[in-house]
Amino acid sequence: MILSDADILRRLEEGDLVVEPLDDPDIQIQPASIDLRLGREFLEFQRTNIPCIHPNSEQEVDEYVDSTHVEEGEEFILHPGDFVLGTTHERVEIPPDLIAHVEGRSSLGRLAIVVHATAGLCDPGFEGKITLELSNLGTAPVALTPGMRISQLTFTELKSPADRPYGKERGSKYQDQKGPQASKIQGDREFGGDQ
């Protein structure tokens, strides 16, 4: 079952679902979702002459990514064909009986901006800011302003709460992230990690 605005408000009031700061619930809470705003931090992928990125090499990923902080009153220009990692302004806490889906807003989709390439899911138990995979599929640059509503979360209630929710007990790689996070795939078992 997908949560309606009434269900979302009730869960927020009960405190088991957390979205903070939720500065304007009247605007941010939609009929079946919550709009999230764009944060100020971005990870930009540099054009380099490296032959490829090896997912199991943390050093290669770090060398390929630069961090950008957008100051108050400034914009981040997303050029055609660019892919950057952004973050939500809001921090979320998803309870063990819900799963959250990160979706784009149609108004930005109509400008050819997508907010996730593949990671559109927040597992039960996830806590932190959400990393956005931002792409410009259009032919013109688009100015993104921190604080603008960039994405929306929908919530689906699980048939029963997760026995092993996302979190520190599982060693979850992105728990409590405070800004955009580059890939930590090198921590996966197939690359010698413990995930």
List CB contacts of 189: < 8 A, sequence separation 6 or more.
195
Give the tokens for residue 88: 């939500």
Tell me how far apart the alpha carbons of residues 7 and 40 are, in angstroms, rounded to a whole number.
30
The DSSP element (H or E) to which 58 belongs, if any, is helix 58-64
Residue 36: the pLDDT is 98
Question: Any binding-site annotation on 107?
Answer: yes
Residue 48: the pLDDT is 66
List CB contacts of 128: < 8 A, sequence separation 6 or more.
91, 92, 174, 175, 176, 177, 178
Residue 93 lies in a domain: yes
Residue 170 lies in a domain: no
Beta-bridge mates of residue 33? 30
* Domain of residue 139, residue span: 5-47+59-160
Residue 185: the pLDDT is 74
Residue 12 lies in a domain: yes
Residue 176 lies in a domain: no
User: Does 44 qualify as catalytic in the annotation?
Assistant: no
Residue 167 lies in a domain: no
Choice among 44, 60, 103, 133 that is catalytic: 133
Question: Any binding-site annotation on 186?
Answer: no
Residue 65: the pLDDT is 83
- DSSP string for residues in 87-143: EEEEEEE--TTEEEEEEE-HHHHTTTEES-SS--EE-TT-EEEEEEEEEE-SSS-EE
Mean pLDDT in residue range 112-126: 92
The total domain count for the chain is: 1
Question: Any binding-site annotation on 36?
Answer: no
Residue 49: the pLDDT is 64
Question: Any binding-site annotation on 159?
Answer: no
Residue 114: the pLDDT is 96
Q: Report the percentage of the chain scoring pLDDT > 70.
A: 93
Residue 118 confidence (pLDDT) above 90: no
Reported as a single tens digit per residue, the pLDDT across 61-98 is 777 788 999 999 999 999 999 999 999 999 999 999 99
CATH number, domain with residue 19: 2.70.40.10
Question: Any binding-site annotation on 177?
Answer: yes
* Residue of higher predicted confidence among 185 and 34: 34
Tell me how far apart the alpha carbons of residues 105 and 134 are, in angstroms, rounded to a whole number.
12
Mean pLDDT, the chain, integer: 90
* Residue of higher predicted confidence among 148 and 168: 148
Residue 77 lies in a domain: yes
Question: Any binding-site annotation on 108?
Answer: yes
Residue 180 lies in a domain: no
Residue 169 lies in a domain: no
pTM for this prediction: 0.89
